[in-house]
Amino acid sequence: MTAIDPKLRTTKTTCPYCGVGCGVLATPDGKGGAAIAGDPDHPANFGRLCSKGSALGETVGLEGRLLYPMIRCKGVLERVAWSDALDHVAHRMQHIAARDGADAVAFYLSGQLLTEDYYVANKLMKGFVGTANVDTNSRLCMSSSVAGHRRAFGADTVPGCYEDLDQADLLVFVGSNAAWCHPVLFQRMLKNRQERGARMIVIDPRRTDTASDVDLFLGLKPGTDTALFSGLFVHFADSGALDQAYIASNTSGFDDALVRARNIAGSVTATALATGLSEQDVATFFKMFRDTPRVVTLYSQGVNQSAQGTDKVNAILNCHLATGRIGKPGASPFSLTGQPNAMGGREVGGLANQLAAHMNFTPPDIDRVRRFWKAPRIATHEGLKAVQLFEAINRGEVKALWVMGTNPAVSLPDADFVREALKKLELFVVSENVLSNDTVEAGPHVLLPALAWGEKSGTVTNSERRISRQRSFLPAPGEARPDWWILSETAKRLGFGDSFDYKSAADIFREHAALSAFENDGSRDFDIGALTSLSNEAFDALKPVQWPVREGGAPGERFFASGGFFTNDGKGRFVAPEVPALRSETGASRPLRLNTGRIRDQWHTMTRTGLSQRLGAHLPEPFVEVHPDDAGKFGIAHDGYARITTDYGQCILKVVVSDRQQRGTLFVPIHWSAMNASHGRVGALVQSFTDPFSGQPESKATPAAIAPYEYVFRGFALSRKQLDLPPNLLWTRVTVNGGFGYLFADNADLSRWPAWLEGVAGEDVAEYRDFGGGVYRAASFAGDRIETCLFVGPAHDAGDWEVVKSLFVADQVTDDQRGMLLSGKSGEGAAATGPIVCACFGVGRGTICDTIASGARTTAEIGATLKAGTNCGSCIPELKRLIATTEVAPVKQVKIAGAAG
Ligand SMILES: Nc1nc2c(c(=O)[nH]1)N[C@H]1C(S)=C(S)[C@@H](COP(=O)(O)OP(=O)(O)OC[C@H]3O[C@@H](n4cnc5c(=O)[nH]c(N)nc54)[C@H](O)[C@@H]3O)O[C@H]1N2
Ligand SMILES: Nc1nc2c(c(=O)[nH]1)N[C@H]1C(S)=C(S)[C@@H](COP(=O)(O)OP(=O)(O)OC[C@H]3O[C@@H](n4cnc5c(=O)[nH]c(N)nc54)[C@H](O)[C@@H]3O)O[C@H]1N2
Ligand code: SF4
Ligand SMILES: [Mo]
C-alpha cells in the first residue's frame, strides 16, 4: 500500500461564502487546485453544497493574487519586505494618533475574516490604540438585526437553530431570497415541506425564486413590513391568540407596543392599505400565522437594509414574543446571517458600538474588559459606524484607515463618494487577497497580502451560532500571511508586544473563549468558556459546536422559551416601532425605486466567484429588472439597454422585462464593479440614509429614473488573456472556459476594430468584413486553437456567444469550423445550448427547452435526462418556469421564458 502524500489528504473545512456555514471536504490536487465535496457529517449541510460551494475549486488559483507586501512610492506600488511594510504602518499610525488623537485612526473590517483575525483587530484598536473606530461591513448587513435583538432581548442573541427549520409547520420569509442566498438551507426547508407538509410564505416586493412556488406570496410595497407585522400583532390581540402567560411572566412593554401597532395598522383593512396588499391576502397571512403554533419567521436584507430596519426587526420580534413562539422547537424568529463569519464578528465585538464578547460600552463592561486585556487605554465610548466613518474620512477627521477583507469602493452606498474620500487619507492600508479591486484602485499607501480561503486557519460562526473550523489545505503562497499575524506584528511595533504574543490561531481562540466566560456566570448569552482549555490538537480537531458552550453545561441550548432574557429585569421587551416611511421621496424626475440585491451564482464583488467559468455562465452581464408596464411607460425594451439615474450616480444595464418585478420598482444586482463592467457598479447609485438605531443604510429603495439607451452594435470577444478594450464601449468581462470573455455594445464606427485587433493578436488574423452590413468577425489562432476572436454586428445579429464559446474551448478547430465561424454560420450543426441554467452540471437553457419540447414535463424528468437540478437544486424554480412557458413538440420553434436567465 502506498501512503498518501499528507499534502494531498482530504481536509474538513467550511465554505467561505454564506452564513449557512456548510462543511466542505477539500482534497488538494497537488497542482494548486482542489477537489471539493460537501461534508456529510456537518450538521449545517449533511453533504450538500450549492453552486457557489461546489465551484470553490475553480477559485483557489493564484492568478491575480496579492502575494507580497507593497508600499506606494512616488505614486507607484513597490514590493517591500514585511518588516518594512509593518514598520511603516505602525510608524504612521503612531504618528497620526499622537498628533490628532486615537480617533483619527480607524479600521474597516469584514464578516469574511476569521474570528481570530477579528478578535485581534478589535483588541488592538479598542483596547490598545484606544479608539472604537472599528467598524465592519456587517454594518451594511446585519446591524439592524443586532440592534433589534439588543432592544428586545438585551443581547444580540439568535434564539433558534436549523433544526427548527426542519420542525416548523410554517416558514415565513421576510425580505429573504433564500433560494439564491441561503440555498442549502432553502433545500432543507423544501425537504420539510415535501416530507412534513410545512407551508411557506414569502414577503418581498419582488417575486423571487424563493417565492416561485409558495403557499402565499405577499408582494408588499417597499419598506412597509412594520405595518404588516404591526397588523399581525393587533390581530393576535383582537382574536384571542396572545400567549398571556408568557407575556405576563417573561416580557415588558406590551401595552405601549400594542397601542402603537394599532396606530400603524389597527385592522386588516388598515394593514392592506399601508402595505399595498389585498385584504384577502392580509387576512390569509394573519390566519395562517395565528393558527400554526410552529412558525419560524426568517428575515434578511429586505428587513435589515432599511432606514427603519431595526423597527422592522422589532415588529417581527413583537409577534413572536406575543405568542411565546420563541426558542421552541420549530417556533422562533430567525435572522439569516449573510457572511460566513457575520456571527463571529458580532461575538468578538467587531461593530463600533460593541466592545467585546457581547459586552457593550457600559462602565462595568468597559472595566471588565480593561482588566481582562490589561488595557489601560481602552476606548470608553462607541466609535463611528461605517457610513459616518467614511463621512469623517471625507471631512479629514479620520486620517488613517486600514481596510481588511472588504471592498468598500463597491459595496458602500454612494460608492463614488467613498472612492473619493479614500483618496484624502494620510495613511490608507489594505489587507487583501487580490492584487486589484476597486478599493485597491482607490490608491492605498500600503498593500498587505493576506492568506485566502484554503490557506488560512481558524474558526467561523454560522447563522445558528455554530462554530466551525476553517482549516488550511493549501500552502501559504508567496509571502501571504494570516490577518491575525499581520495585526499582531503591527501591535508589537506599536509597543504592545506582551499583549499580542500569539503563536497560532488556537492561542487567540483560547483567549477569546476565556473572555466570553470572564465574570459571566450566566449574565451574558455568549459564553464558550468550556473551550478555553482546548489544546492545540483539540483545536485542530474541533467539531462544529453550537454556543453557548458553558463550563459544565450542555452545548447549544435554545434561548428564551421560558424567558431568561439578558435585560436588567430579565424580561423580553416589546418595542413600539415608528410609523413606516422610506427616507426619500420619489417624484417626477425620480419616479421609481431602485432595489438592489444578489444573484444565485455570484458572491458580492466577484473577487472570487468571478474566477469561475461555471458561475459566470448563468447571468453573465449586469442587468436591471423592470415591470412590463414600466417598460412600456418609459420606452424600455427587453434585451435592450437602459440608463438608470439616481441623485448619486448612473449605470447603463441590460434590460430584463419581467412581471415578477413590482410596478414602480427596479432591481439591479450588486456584484459588478469597475473591474469587470464599464457601467454596472450599482453602489454608486445607492443613497446613504441610515437607520437611527443600527446605522445600517437603506440600500433597497433609492429614488431612480430609467431611460432607454441605444447601441448600434453589439458584440463579444474571447481571448486567452485579459484584454484592454477600445475606449467608450459598454463592456462586461466574464471568466470563460479557457480564458476571458467580453460582452460589449458600441456606437463607434466599425473601422476601429481591425487596428485594435492587430494590436492585440498581431497580423495573423483571419477575418470577415461587411462594414456596410454592420458586421466584423475575426479570429487569430495558435496552432489549432482559437487564441483571440472578435464578433461585432448589429443588435439582432452579433453572433452566438454560447456557440463561439464552445469552439473557443476546443483544442482543435477544423478548417470547416473556421470557415463557418467567420461566415457567421458556426451555429449551424453545433448544439445551441443557450445560457447556462444549471451551474452544477453546466446545462443550458436551449438544451433544457429541447428536452421539455420533446416531452419532459417535470423537473424530475428533466433531471433524469440531463442531470440538471439534481445537485444543489437552486435552478429548480427556473426549470419550473421553463416547463410552464415551453410548448411541447411538434411545435418546432420553442418559446423561451423572458425572466432573468
Ligand atoms: N448567491 C449569493 N448568496 C449570498 C450572497 C451573495 O453575494 N450571493 N451574500 C450573502 C450575504 S453577505 C447576505 S447579507 C445574504 C443576503 O441575502 P438576502 O437578504 O436574501 O438577499 P438580497 O438579495 O440582498 O435581498 C433579499 C430580498 O429583499 C427584498 N426586499 C427589498 N426591499 C424590501 C422590503 O422593503 N421588504 C421586504 N420584505 N423585502 C424587501 C429584495 O427584493 C430581495 O429579494 O446573502 C448571502 N448569500
Ligand atoms: N447596494 C447594496 N450594497 C450592498 C448590499 C446590498 O444588498 N445592496 N449588501 C451589503 C452586504 S449585506 C454586504 S455583506 C457587503 C459585502 O461587500 P464587500 O465586503 O465589500 O464584498 P466582498 O466582495 O465580499 O469583499 C471582500 C474583499 O475581501 C477580500 N478577502 C476575502 N477573504 C479575505 C481574507 O481572509 N482576508 C483579507 N484581508 N481579505 C479577504 C476579497 O478579495 C474582497 O476584495 O455589501 C453590502 N453592500
Ligand atoms: S449554501 Fe452554498 S454558499 Fe452557503 S455555505 Fe453552503 S455551499 Fe457555501
Ligand atoms: Mo451581507
**Which DSSP string do the residues of 270-308 spell out, in sequence order?**
HHHHHHT--HHHHHHHHHHHHH-SSEEEEE-HHHHSSTT
Q: Identify whether the C-beta of residue 837 lies closer than 8 Å to the C-beta of residue 815.
A: no
893 assigned to some structural domain: no
Q: Among 17, 40, 59, which residue terminates a domain?
A: 59
Q: Identify whether residues 273 and 155 lie together within a single domain.
A: yes
Q: Among 668, 686, 708, which residue terminates a domain?
A: 708
564 assigned to some structural domain: no
pLDDT at 2: 59
**Paired sense of beta strands 592-597 and 702-709, if any:** antiparallel
Structural domain harbouring 692: 592-708
CA distances in angstroms from 229 to 262, 265, 266, 319, listed in the order given: 11, 9, 11, 7
Q: Identify whether residues 515 and 391 lie together within a single domain.
A: yes
573 assigned to some structural domain: no
Q: Identify whether the C-beta of residue 654 lies closer than 8 Å to the C-beta of residue 622.
A: yes
Q: How far is the CA of 181 from the centre of ligand 3 (A)?
A: 8
Ligand 1: does its nearest atom lie under 6 Å from the Cβ of 225?
yes
Determine the angle formed by the axes of helices 268-275 and 279-291, rounding to 10 degrees: 120
Q: Identify whether the C-beta of residue 644 lies closer than 8 Å to the C-beta of residue 666.
A: yes
Indicate the helix (H) or strand (E) that contains 862: helix 859-866
**Residue 632, domain CATH:** 2.40.40.20
Ligand 1: does its nearest atom lie under 6 Å from the Cβ of 610?
no
Report the Cα 326 to chain-centroid distance in Å: 27
Ligand 1: does its nearest atom lie under 6 Å from the Cβ of 176?
yes
Question: Which residue owns the Cα nearest ligand 2 atom 26?
Answer: 406
Q: Identify whether residues 405 and 440 lie together within a single domain.
A: yes
AA letter at 421: A
**Paired sense of beta strands 400-404 and 427-432, if any:** parallel
Ligand 2: does its nearest atom lie under 6 Å from the Cβ of 486?
no
Q: Please give the Cα distance from 890 to 195 (Å, whole number).
A: 37
Residue 842 neighbours by CB distance under 10 Å: 16
562 assigned to some structural domain: no
Q: Identify whether the C-beta of residue 129 lies closer than 8 Å to the C-beta of residue 494.
A: yes
Residues 6 or more apart whose CB falls under 8 angstroms from that of 751 comprise 771
Q: Identify whether residues 246 and 311 lie together within a single domain.
A: yes
Q: Identify whether residues 220 and 367 lie together within a single domain.
A: no
Residues linked to residue 735 through DSSP beta bridges, in sequence order: 740
Q: How far is the CA of 405 from the centre of ligand 2 (A)?
A: 7
**Residue 872, domain CATH:** 1.10.10.1100
CA distances in angstroms from 746 to 305, 329, 494, 777, listed in the order given: 36, 57, 53, 15
Ligand 1: does its nearest atom lie under 6 Å from the Cβ of 226?
no
Q: Please give the Cα distance from 46 to 587 (Å, whole number).
A: 50
Ligand 3: does its nearest atom lie under 6 Å from the Cβ of 272?
no
Q: Which ligand is nearest to the CA of 596?
A: 2
Q: Which ligand is nearest to the CA of 112?
A: 2
831 assigned to some structural domain: no
pLDDT at 688: 95
What's the chain's Rg over C-alpha atoms?
Answer: 27
Which residue numbers in the chain have pLDDT < 70?
Answer: 1-3, 826-832, 889-901
Q: Identify whether the C-beta of residue 740 lies closer than 8 Å to the C-beta of residue 724.
A: no
Q: How far is the CA of 468 from the centre of ligand 1 (A)?
A: 24
Question: Which residue owns the Cα nearest ligand 1 atom 10?
Answer: 338
Ligand 3: does its nearest atom lie under 6 Å from the Cβ of 17?
yes
pLDDT at 895: 41
Q: Identify whether residues 689 and 671 lie together within a single domain.
A: yes
Ligand 2: does its nearest atom lie under 6 Å from the Cβ of 431?
yes
Ligand 3: does its nearest atom lie under 6 Å from the Cβ of 183?
yes
Q: Please give the Cα distance from 366 to 369 (Å, whole number).
A: 5
Residues linked to residue 838 through DSSP beta bridges, in sequence order: 843
Question: Which residue owns the Cα nearest ligand 1 atom 7?
Answer: 603
Q: Among 524, 546, 568, which residue terminates a domain?
A: 546
Residues linked to residue 37 through DSSP beta bridges, in sequence order: 25
436 assigned to some structural domain: yes
The count of residues in the chain is 901
- Ligand 3 atom with the shortest distance to the CA of 51: 2
Q: Identify whether residues 133 and 148 lie together within a single domain.
A: no
Q: Residue-wise over 429-439: b if at least 16 C-beta within 10 A, else e?
A: bbbbbbbebbb
> Which of 139, 303, 407 most suits a substitution to test ligand 2, by most atoms within 8 Å of the C-beta?
407
Q: Please give the Cα distance from 708 to 731 (Å, whole number).
A: 17
- Ligand 3 atom with the shortest distance to the CA of 18: 4
3-state secondary structure of 499: helix
Q: Identify whether residues 50 and 179 lie together within a single domain.
A: no
**Residue 366, domain CATH:** 3.40.50.740
Positive/negative CA dihedral, 66, 67, 70, 75: negative
Q: How far is the CA of 165 from the centre of ligand 2 (A)?
A: 27
Ligand 3: does its nearest atom lie under 6 Å from the Cβ of 603?
no
Q: What is the largest CA-CA distance in the chain?
A: 84
Q: Identify whether residues 757 and 810 lie together within a single domain.
A: yes
Q: Identify whether residues 671 and 634 lie together within a single domain.
A: yes
Ligand 1: does its nearest atom lie under 6 Å from the Cβ of 345?
no
**Residue 295, domain CATH:** 3.40.228.10
Q: Please give the Cα distance from 432 to 486 (Å, whole number).
A: 11
The total number of structural domains in the chain stands at 6
**Paired sense of beta strands 641-645 and 702-709, if any:** antiparallel
Question: Which residue owns the Cα nearest ligand 2 atom 25?
Answer: 406
Q: Identify whether the C-beta of residue 138 lies closer than 8 Å to the C-beta of residue 346.
A: yes
AA letter at 748: A
Question: Can you read off the three cell numbers belonging to residue 279?
Answer: 385584504
Ligand 3: does its nearest atom lie under 6 Å from the Cβ of 16?
no
Q: How far is the CA of 676 from the centre of ligand 2 (A)?
A: 15
Q: Please give the Cα distance from 583 to 691 (Å, whole number).
A: 9
Question: Which residue owns the Cα nearest ligand 1 atom 17?
Answer: 181
Report the Cα 704 to chain-centroid distance in Å: 23
pLDDT at 827: 55
Ligand 2: does its nearest atom lie under 6 Å from the Cβ of 670?
yes
Report the Cα 890 to chain-centroid distance in Å: 43
Q: How far is the CA of 437 from the centre of ligand 2 (A)?
A: 11
Question: Can you read off the three cell numbers belonging to residue 723?
Answer: 484584454
563 assigned to some structural domain: no
Q: Please give the Cα distance from 117 to 406 (Å, whole number).
A: 14
730 assigned to some structural domain: yes
- Ligand 2 atom with the shortest distance to the CA of 110: 19
- Ligand 3 atom with the shortest distance to the CA of 185: 1
Q: HSE-up of 167 (CA within 13 Å, CB side)? A: 13
Question: Which residue owns the Cα nearest ligand 1 atom 1?
Answer: 600
Q: Please give the Cα distance from 293 to 419 (Å, whole number).
A: 49
Q: How far is the CA of 46 from the centre of ligand 2 (A)?
A: 27
Ligand 2: does its nearest atom lie under 6 Å from the Cβ of 483?
yes
Q: Please give the Cα distance from 278 to 264 (Å, whole number).
A: 17
Q: Identify whether the C-beta of residue 743 lies closer than 8 Å to the C-beta of residue 654.
A: no
CA angle, residues 186, 190, 196, in degrees to nearest 5 = 140
Q: Identify whether residues 531 and 396 lie together within a single domain.
A: yes
Indicate the helix (H) or strand (E) that contains 219: none
pLDDT at 583: 84
Residue corresponding to grid cell 476553517: 470
Q: Please give the Cα distance from 193 to 146 (Å, whole number).
A: 29
Q: Please give the Cα distance from 220 to 838 (Å, whole number).
A: 30
Ligand 2: does its nearest atom lie under 6 Å from the Cβ of 224?
no
Q: Identify whether the C-beta of residue 51 lies closer than 8 Å to the C-beta of residue 601.
A: yes
Q: Identify whether the C-beta of residue 729 lies closer than 8 Å to the C-beta of residue 678.
A: yes
Q: Which ligand is nearest to the CA of 682?
A: 2
Q: Please give the Cα distance from 454 to 40 (Å, whole number).
A: 19
Q: Identify whether residues 330 and 350 lie together within a single domain.
A: no
- Enumerate residues with CB within 5 Å of ligand 4 (an ion): 141, 338
**Is residue 769 exposed (0-12), middle (13-18) or buried (19+ Cβ within 10 Å)?**
middle
